[in-house]
Structure 1
Amino acid sequence: MERHRFKFISLAISLAAALFILLYPLRPLDAGAYEFVFWYPGGEGTQKDAEPIIAAFLNYIKGKTGYEIRGRYINKTDEGIKYIKAKRPTFGIVSWITLEENKGKLPPYKEIAATLPLPHGTDKEIFTIVGKEGWEKGSELLLASSIPISPAFFKKYMMPELDKEVTITETSSIFALLKELSLGNARDKAVLLTPMEMHTFSNLKVDWKGGLRVIQRLKPIPTARLIYFGDDLGVADRLIQALLAMQEEKEGVEILGELRLKGFLPLHHTP
């Protein structure tokens, strides 16, 4: 009788343990927590600037999933590649431009959700060229951008109809350059604005803005992606469910707003 009772108790413990593992996937044993990288080359601010909002975002996820997650914000291309190779993070939110430009330099990953950035809140974004009349004259286009974009990417995805060479210079002072273009004689240059920059530019109340015009809205490209470097799609699915819940709760919406996001759109079903 005691032997049968012992077997029953052992079976119950085993079933409970199996259920716990299914509901709460094991975290990486070496780190004790997941790593989450926010990689936006050309983005504003520093890791220190980003820490409060990243902490709020990850604490919200912890409350929904139980996951312990450490976050890192990186706004330089080379630094992001080195970090990912060295730390092997579990998750990342990375601009689609950066993913496409550096595909062969990263460990394998899965794109599991699209971000829905403000102000448009969709999974596609449109960049805009702003400048002065006559900017397109000559054998080469000269553009400035706040984010690193290669001429090859620009011609393939953003302006495939372009039949001349293009040079894109990165600048950290995009609005100062717009003013310079408006007031100066640099008619052979224009500025490539992100959707958020274009939104800000459209709402500027300054006299010098009248010297510029919208030259062209470019072909839509995908927004930043939520990526997963792991193999257990159950882990990724729990994160996605937490992010979807975030869009429906006041606290979550406020945190997303600080990240300049409306929410996330799952790219495929995970079990």
Structure 2
Amino acid sequence: MATVTTAPPRTPSAPSVLVLGAALATVGLWASAFVGIRAAGQDFSAGALSLARLLIGSVALGAFVAIRREPLPPRADLPRLILCGVLWFGIYNVALNEAERHVDAGTAAMLVNVGPVLIAVLAGVLLKEGFPRMLLIGCAVAFAGAVLIGIATSDGGLAASAGAALCLVAAITYAGGVVAQKPLLGRSSPLAITWLACVIGAICCVPFTPQLVQESADAGGEAIGWTIYLGLFPTAIAFTLWAYALTHTTAGRMGATTYLVPPLATLMGWAYFGETPPGLALAGRALCLTGAALARRGR
């Protein structure tokens, strides 16, 4: 009599609940970062705050890398790793920090979260994923929302408009960083990639060392506390959790989870600073979220 055998059930690379939990934790920590940046930015300039945050994150992540004896990525991945570190950890942080000196936390979060739409566009060009019709419609709607937010914040003069423009710079560098990071995670651990990218970002910000030294001497305890928080939680922990979740899903799906950041940042900004954005900015946010959702359906 023949023996019938059945193949064992396929085990997913990681439990979906862990991936979802990592993504949601990242969203919450990144939303809090928009509030923390505005709070710490009262005593620290954009470049000095970026350098301090990245140094703290690099030290914390480096300690875990040493304890776990994480292997380094292959040398062939160095160019892409440098690109990720320069764009997402270096330029992104400085641009966002300066932007939040001119616009509220919720508006900054919304403009930066045009990034997921840009990720879809870059994936279409660089990864040959094409440009579905719904993707193009979503990009147009989200861009219209960004324009509305820029108009709403222009009531504050050129400074507010410059803040909106810097948020879009942050969105572009964020998208480029994600696209550069995704292939790296197939060959190296999320912890190692995050640590090295953070170190590269810190190196980019070394020219701001004199400002950091000078401003640290005059900074208040609240600003210093927020800076330490930014380095440990939204940087070291959140970026590692993001990389872990991105390892087990697509960039498009991960980008979609960040649509929760703007409303959370708005709520946190209202609770901490009493920030109430203009009605036109709220309409722009709705358009950005709608466009991003449409673009996600196009993937």
**TM-score, L = length of structure 1:** 0.27
Higher relative contact order (CA 8 A, sep 6+): 2
Structure number with greater Rg is 1
Give the structure with the higher percent helix.
2
